[in-house]
Amino acid sequence: MSKDLDQLAISTIRLLSVDQVDAAQSGHPGAPLGLAPAAHAVWKRMRFNPKNTDWINRDRFILSNGHGCALLYSLLFLYGYDLSIQDLKQFRQLGSKTPGHPEAHDVPGVEVTTGPLGQGISNAVGLAIAQKQFAATYNKPDFTLSDSFVYVFLGDGCLMEGISSEASSLAGHLQLNNLIAFWDDNRISIDGDTNVAFTEDVVARYKAYGWHTIEIAHGDTDLDAVSKAVDEAKAIPDKPTLIRLTTTIGFGSLQQGTHGVHGAALKSDDVRQLKEKFGFNPDEHFAVPNEVKDYFHEHVKENQKIETEWNKTLASYVEKYPKEGKELQRRLSGKLPDGWKDALPSYKPSDKAAATLLPELIGGSADLTGSNLTKGADQAEFNLLQTVWVNSVVVTSDTVLENMFPAAYQSAIESTSTPHVIALTRQGVPHLEGSSIENASKGGYTLIKQDKPDVIIVSSGSEVSISRDAIAHLEKAGIKAGLVSLPDFHTFDKQPQSYRLSVLPDGVPILSVEVLSRFGWSKYSHEQFGLDHFGASGKAPDIYKWVEFTPEGVADRAAKTVQFYKGKPVLSPLNTAF
């Protein structure tokens, strides 16, 4: 590719980005104008197939400064991803494939949803870990199935965020040499020169994290330097690389180098002079010169050949290593192992931890492995052992497995579209009759069923057993109380109304019992028992007594609930007008 063609391609990327912002009359033109040369030089080096965005050994590109997404959309369009010129024209419009920040869910080729600064670089560390584990598990001396790289562009704002510090420290610790980050050092933030708030020595900080660092003084023009930096970074055996790329925000604009180009459309005369400056027709919008079109088309064809080769390699691999090959094919298909569900434990502490059943699980513990029991006996630490990557790693909490909610675990594992948080109590809790994976999978279920109850107590977690004991107290006082465990509002809300009304029916006053909060429980109950103040430090039984979260305390509130609703018609809170 000639230098002139490179320049033309870069100008095309710049102007496509400017035209998007111009069409929307909102967005961020500064970053695309400054970063187009580096983006072009990096994408030229990347391996990917726009027609198969799931190819496992593709290189990943993440725009951590996601507000500059017009740049990414321009690249995706030019490289032939499923994004049309029409989509570019719909930039930042409702329902378009080109939203104001890149959404992995909506846009093919967007690897990670970004926007909140610092998030992209942190997700990139996660992707780099996944690639490392893949390589350690499946590469053989005679087969390299995984050798891809993760490229990240990030801005000053990303570097200011604590989350990127945490992730970058970990990346250095794990020696993720497959991670190559470009810091767009344009010295400009919304509040003006970065000197107003951010004067640390970023390069020295990343060195301290154990990263390799490279500085490119002329990021606006020096394509060779970018190319060489990528070579250098790829050759470093045991460190991630941060490339400090000095650029001019809004390169070419009349306001270049100022925060005026950061977050608003350029004025129309500015757009015109930009196009003229780059040798384009100022009256044309979304222009792509034919030679640029052809170049990108050729590049994609080359890349597709690489994937074809890789597929052949995989086929030979499966033949030579059938055991690993079969397991790898299962993982790539996203299927869970046969029978994994049947092997889930049912409340006996001696049962096997699920990580053994699902060797692809990677877990973490915030320096609380012992406290939270997050490591199984046959699991290894995820770390570099010389150059050998361990095969599989943890996590789940034994507390989940031994007690009430293996259902939560199952739901988390089976879900392909949502993250899960499983909130566990640190207190030991008894196993309750009536709790089962099947019941808990519905989000909420009746634990103690009564014929014509005077009141139903609805609760979750460690408060369920307190409520159960309260019911015995109530019985002595001649009050018949039912008990519902409702560990997961979200899943319960998805059940049919008939099921939900069978759990929380009309005609019975309902009392919710949760220490942490009354907030939100009004949706499922008429009365709420919970704290409206901070907790305290002390022994657990003392504290429970202090806040009256005892069988007696719960029974008292239940009795008052019965009294209050006596003679009043009671509608289930699940009945709604629309």
- Residue 41 or residue 136: which is nearer to a second copy going by CB? 136
Q: Taking CB under 8 A as the criterion, which residues in 453-492 touch a second copy?
A: none
Q: Which of 162, 339, 419, 496 binds a second copy (CB under 8 A)?
A: 162
Question: Do 19 and 33 form a contact (C-beta atoms < 8 A)?
Answer: no
Number of C-beta neighbours around residue 84 at 10 A: 11
For residue 266, which amino acid is it? L
Q: Which of 130, 160, 236, 343 binds a second copy (CB under 8 A)?
A: 160
- Residue 303 or residue 374: which is nearer to a second copy going by CB? 374
- Residue 514 or residue 527: which is nearer to a second copy going by CB? 527
**Stretch near a second copy under the rule CB under 8 A, chosen from 136-144, 238-246, 333-341, 566-574:** 566-574
Tokens at residue 509, please? 């006053």
**Stretch near a second copy under the rule CB under 8 A, chosen from 136-144, 188-196, 410-418, 458-466:** 188-196
567 binds a second copy (CB under 8 A): no
103 binds a second copy (CB under 8 A): yes
- Residue 200 or residue 224: which is nearer to a second copy going by CB? 200
- Residue 372 or residue 450: which is nearer to a second copy going by CB? 372
> Could you give the string, one character per residue 261-290, with x where binding to a second copy holds by CB under 8 A and - elsewhere?
--x---------------------------
- Residue 348 or residue 568: which is nearer to a second copy going by CB? 568
> Could you give the string, one character per residue 382-411, with x where binding to a second copy holds by CB under 8 A and - elsewhere?
-x----------------------------
Coil, strand or helix: which one is 108? Answer: coil
190 binds a second copy (CB under 8 A): yes
# residues near a second copy by CB under 8 A: 80
- Residue 41 or residue 466: which is nearer to a second copy going by CB? 466
What is the rounded CA–CA span in Å between residue 310 and residue 315?
9
Q: Which of 30, 50, 100, 461 binds a second copy (CB under 8 A)?
A: 100
Q: Taking CB under 8 A as the criterion, which residues in 205-224 touch a second copy?
A: 205, 207-210
65 binds a second copy (CB under 8 A): no
371 binds a second copy (CB under 8 A): yes
431 CB contacts (<8 Å, ≥6 apart)?
A: 347, 403, 404
Residue corresponding to tokens 């030679």: 291
- Residue 477 or residue 571: which is nearer to a second copy going by CB? 571
Q: Which of 94, 377, 388, 421 binds a second copy (CB under 8 A)?
A: 94
Coil, strand or helix: which one is 280? Answer: coil
Question: Do 149 and 218 form a contact (C-beta atoms < 8 A)?
Answer: no
What is the rounded CA–CA span in Å between residue 384 and residue 387?
6
Please provide the size of the chain in residues: 578
What are the φ/ψ torsions at residue 230 (nearest 5 degrees)? Answer: -65, -45
Q: Taking CB under 8 A as the criterion, which residues in 113-142 touch a second copy?
A: none
Question: Do 274 and 256 form a contact (C-beta atoms < 8 A)?
Answer: no
What is the rounded CA–CA span in Å between residue 62 and residue 78?
17
- Residue 148 or residue 189: which is nearer to a second copy going by CB? 189
- Smallest separation, CB 158 to a second copy (Å): 12
Q: Is residue 110 exposed (0-12), middle (13-18) or buried (19+ Cβ within 10 Å)? A: buried
Q: Taking CB under 8 A as the criterion, which residues in 505-564 touch a second copy?
A: 509, 518-520, 522-523, 526-527, 529, 532, 536-539, 542-543, 546, 556-557, 560-561, 563-564
Coil, strand or helix: which one is 215? Answer: strand
What are the φ/ψ torsions at residue 348 (nearest 5 degrees)? Answer: -100, 125
Q: Which of 349, 370, 478, 496 binds a second copy (CB under 8 A)?
A: 370
For residue 255, which amino acid is it? Q
Q: Which of 54, 141, 204, 426 binds a second copy (CB under 8 A)?
A: 204
List, as one string, the DSSP characters of 143-196: B------EEEEE-HHHHHSHHHHHHHHHHHHTT-TTEEEEEEE--EETTEEGGG
- Residue 74 or residue 194: which is nearer to a second copy going by CB? 194
What is the rounded CA–CA span in Å between residue 278 and residue 7?
9
Q: Which of 54, 142, 196, 388 binds a second copy (CB under 8 A)?
A: 196
Number of C-beta neighbours around residue 402 at 10 A: 19
Question: Do 76 and 16 form a contact (C-beta atoms < 8 A)?
Answer: no
Q: Taking CB under 8 A as the criterion, which residues in 324-353 touch a second copy?
A: none
Q: How many CA atoms lie within 13 A of 573 on its CB side?
A: 17
- Smallest separation, CB 548 to a second copy (Å): 11
